[in-house]
Amino acid sequence: MTLIAAFFRMIRYPNLIYIALTQLLLQFCVVAPVLQKSGLEPSLSWAHFVLLCLSTLMVAAGGYIINDYFDINIDLVNKPEKMVVEKIINRRWAMAWHTMLNMAGVSLGFLVAFKIGQFYLGFIQVICTMLLWFYSTSFKRQVIIGNVVISLLTALSVVVVGFYEKQIYESFEAILSPAGRKLIQIIGIYALFAFLLSMIREIVKDMEDMIGDSKDGCRTLPIVWGVKKTKHFTMGLIVALEVLLLVLMVVTFLREWYAAVAYVGLFVVFPLAWFIQRPLAKAYQPEHYHSISTWIKIVMLTGILSMVFFKIM
């Protein structure tokens, strides 16, 4: 493997593509159309939005690197064939890249915040870098705390686009306007979807990585609660997500968005129930959980793509 390929594997480039796609679709399929219907324009220009997206991607990439940096002993057991840090890229260079990406990401965040006159918004990226550091060094080894932190950060990658929109940050009057309320509702729903699905995936990954985690002294849910109780808890989260999606389908049906209802039913709810919920009940080997985790990423993608309907309908 070349150094360039190793670097892109280290920063989890497929996950970064997910983040970029989420923010791109949210900005141009949700935020812009909602505002334009009210005779308004988005607060972020195209250039500023690109900078905000790059800022998010850099902070996320730095988080993936520092996670690998502190997970060497775990990865030696769970996935030695996929290791990059120490095996291909030494730890000193990994830490250097982590530092550079974080500094660049935070700087871009403050630059965009300054350009729209809301400098304090730049601290969002500072908080994210701190949470990712403490997740890698401590939180991920504690019961459920690490899962919640990562799920909140996943949801925040959705919400942050709204934070930089004046209909949300400018005043209570702007928030209570039709456009403001609609933006908060839509962004909130997608953030909740991202949070629940990320939470489910993180717990499934914990079940997949039990052997290496236990040897490193981690106290993840399956290690502390046992696999059976952890499965029941995860099933509860899946059911909660399914209920949320079904309620949204009913609301969407009443608005006569029939194509959107069909899409969510076929490409989000069905794979969630058939390829995630059903196999999880029978899973007991790492490869089973890995397959379920892959399907969760697919459902996350199909869920993200549903934003297109706000543009075309």
> For all residues of the chain together, what is the average pLDDT?
94
Q: What is the pLDDT of residue 1?
A: 61
pLDDT tens-digit readout, 150-177: 999 999 999 999 999 887 877 677 777 8
- The domain limits of the chain are 3-312
- The distance of Cα 23 from the centroid of its chain, to the nearest Å, equals 11
Mean pLDDT on 1-20? 92
Give the number of C-alpha atoms closer than 13 A to the C-alpha of residue 199, restricted to the C-beta side. Answer: 24
Number of H helices, E strands in the chain: 19, 0
Give the number of C-alpha atoms closer than 13 A to the C-alpha of residue 290, restricted to the C-beta side. Answer: 7
Q: Is residue 249 a contact partner of residue 264, using CB atoms and an 8 Å limit?
A: yes
Beta strands in the chain (DSSP E): none
Q: Which residue has 């019961």 as its token pair?
A: 143
Q: Is residue 157 a contact partner of residue 19, using CB atoms and an 8 Å limit?
A: yes
The token duo for 207 is 């079940």
The three-class DSSP label of residue 89 is strand
Q: Maximum CA pair distance of the chain?
A: 58
Confidence band of 216 (pLDDT split at 50, 70, 90):
confident
Mean pLDDT on 179-197? 94
The three-class DSSP label of residue 85 is strand
Task: Determine whether 250 is exposed, middle or buried from the number of CB atoms within 10 Å of its CB (0-12, 13-18, 19+).
Answer: exposed
What's the per-residue H, E or C state across 76-92? HHHCHHHCCECCCECHH
Q: Which residue has 């919920």 as its token pair?
A: 277
Residue type, 39: G
Q: What is the pTM of this model?
A: 0.95
Give the number of C-alpha atoms closer than 13 A to the C-alpha of residue 192, restricted to the C-beta side. Answer: 15
In the predicted model, is pLDDT for residue 215 greater than 70? yes
Q: What is the pLDDT of residue 175?
A: 76
Q: Is residue 309 a contact partner of residue 259, using CB atoms and an 8 Å limit?
A: yes
pLDDT tens-digit readout, 24-76: 999 999 999 999 988 889 999 999 999 999 999 999 999 999 999 998 888 88
C-alpha closest to that of 140 among 237, 223, 238, 55? 223
pLDDT tens-digit readout, 82-119: 889 988 999 999 999 999 999 999 999 999 999 999 99
The token duo for 254 is 């009443």
Distance, in Å, from the CA atom of 183 to the CA atom of 162, rounded to the nearest integer, reads 8
| CB contact set of 48 (below 8 Å; sequence gap of 6+) | 112, 115, 116
pLDDT tens-digit readout, 126-144: 999 999 999 999 999 999 9
